[in-house]
Amino acid sequence: MNKERKKEKKNCTYIGGQAVMEGVMMRGKRAMATAVRDPEGKIQVEAVRVRPPEERSRFSRLPFVRGVVSFVESLIVGNRVLMRSAEVAEGDEEQPSKAEKWLAEKHKVNLNSVWNIAAIVLGVLLAVLIFVLLPQYLTGFTGFATTGLEGLWFNLIEGGIRMVIFLLYIVGISVFPTLARVYRYHGAEHKTITCFERGLPLTVENVRGCSRVHDRCGTTFLFLVMVVSIFVFSLANALAGAVIYTGNDTADFFIRMAFKLLMLPIVAGVSYEILRGLAKTQNRFFLIFKAPGLLLQRVTTREPDDGMIECAIAAFQKVYDMDADPSVPETMFATACKMSELLAGTKKRFKDNGVDEEEAEWIFSLLLSVPKSAVNTEEHILRVSQAKEILRVADERLTGRPLWYIIGDADFYGYKIRVDERVLIPRPETEELAQQVIASAEEGNKILDLCTGSGAVAIAVCKELEKKKCKVTVTASDVSEEALALAKENAELNGAEISFVQSDLFSKLRGRYDIIVSNPPYIPTKDIGSLQREVRDFEPRLALDGGEDGLDFYRRIAENAGKYLVRGGMLIMEVGIGEAESVVKLFRYCDYSIIVKDMQGVDRFVKIVF
């Protein structure tokens, strides 16, 4: 068996894990991920980045000290992820109670967090009672003294009793169905790590065929703690017993208990170094020391089903990816929680990945129907379904996809405009372009929106002039059939009477207009690659690329605009930064031209009158 294990191990990994409620937690050098199957049968993954060992203080990396640090950290983190997994596994979708709402809104206290802290405290107290007080109490009936030679026997018997209690404990909890499933997830965790170490692809079939026994298991560590504690407590008692004990049985009982608790870090440090050394060797001699822990794993692990293996693979793969690539974003569980907690977590994820934190506020505002100004000040308890929807949008936003494509619509001049990858997302400065048209239009005017895209400008002009009782005729054109289809949807959505024409600029247009408005592509081709990822990778290049110098479409418009405007007609265009003067020079045959600044003081609009 030893030779087979040695031959099979092809990959080395720092990744280790822990079984949780309906899932598995994996931890690597730089990341930790917990995968849990929720009541709907879907695997949720929560992943965070952690400080790698090499970036911690030298003191915390010293032999024996690192074992203490690891032990304390595993207690804290282990309890935290266990509680978090329970929240996902339960998937409580009930409305929060009045008490929960009152605590959240008035005192910003999450009742679930209070219960979690109470559970951790009770768990620690129960562990002290079962594994420290009870063995010491039972050993007292032997009549042995706690010092001298009899003290050695006292410690040996007490350690034996503690070991028996530990074995009964891990066997006993397996009778509970929920905890028995944790043992099966424990098996899935071991099998997955073993599968990777054997150099096999992480598939359910490959993982299923691997051993559920592993050298670096926490069960083996706990067994070593039990054994090492006997020797450490015996030695420490022999050295310090005569000094610390008072002769009063009651006082000495509690002094002895406190002394053991103080010695626990030494026990953990020594046990960690032993486990670390044993895990590095496959020598037959050291197998004797490994055997008890490995045999114990036959109790603390069970054969997992395929769904459990899928959870373990999901957690391992997420950690592996995050360890290898710093750009892989963190993820969060969707659980009932305080709005402020989820908002803070979402903002942190956005900040870490170069996304404007304000977009997190927009997500909460839009999905919860809360005024954006109140998102940072109001407090609510979110249901699981609400948290899931928020995280779905946030996760998709972290892929680079623009928020308004994810939401599916954007506000433009107070009108709801549907947007997706077929069209550009309307910008604030384009609202000012629409305002220029609205201010210039008169009763009976024929208005053309050239390169209409989503139809936002045409719709705003049409509806605002309708409010003013200024009757006009609006036509919108675009070369893209897909964009035009979406523009028609938007016109219908907003009740705007607009005629649509598919045309490459003026090629299929007939007649003359009083006003032509256009926001054509104006970004130089060479600058496309340097645009924000959200623009470069998601918005249609057809609507962005203005040719070598960004002026190709303006040249074509300059050649033909006069043929499609009435005498005294006006052409109003949006231009790129630094392009206004160059665009004006293209219109040599016009009555006059005006350059208009936007609200940021940028030369943004050009008016040409023929």
For the chain, the distance separating the N- and C-terminal CA atoms, rounded to the nearest angstrom, is: 91
428 is in an annotated binding site: no
Per-residue exposure over 298-334, b if at least 16 CB sit within 10 Å of its own CB, e if not: eebbbebeeebbbbbbbbbbbbbebbeeeebbbbbbb
Tell me if 554 sits within 8 A of 586, measured CB to CB: yes
Q: What gap in Å lies between CA 123 and CA 130, rounded to an integer? A: 10
CA 283 distance to own-chain centroid: 42
Per DSSP, the residues of 505-527 read TTTT--S-EEEEEE----B-GGG
Q: What gap in Å lies between CA 96 and CA 414, rounded to an integer? A: 35
478 is in an annotated binding site: yes
Q: Count H helices, E strands: the chain?
A: 22, 15
Q: Phi and psi for 508 in degrees, rounded to 5? A: -120, 15
What's the DSSP call for residue 383? P
53 is in an annotated binding site: no
Tell me if 20 sits within 8 A of 82, measured CB to CB: yes
Q: What gap in Å lies between CA 522 and CA 148, rounded to an integer? A: 91
The structure tokens listed for 541 are: 């290049």
- Among 201, 144, 158, residue whose Cα is nearest residue 11: 201
Residues 6+ apart with CB under 8 A from 469: none
Q: What gap in Å lies between CA 21 and CA 41, rounded to an integer? A: 14
589 is in an annotated binding site: no
371 is in an annotated binding site: no
- Residue ranges for the known binding site for S-adenosyl-L-methionine are 478, 519
- Residue ranges for the known binding site are 478, 519-522
- Residue ranges for the known binding site for substrate are 519-522
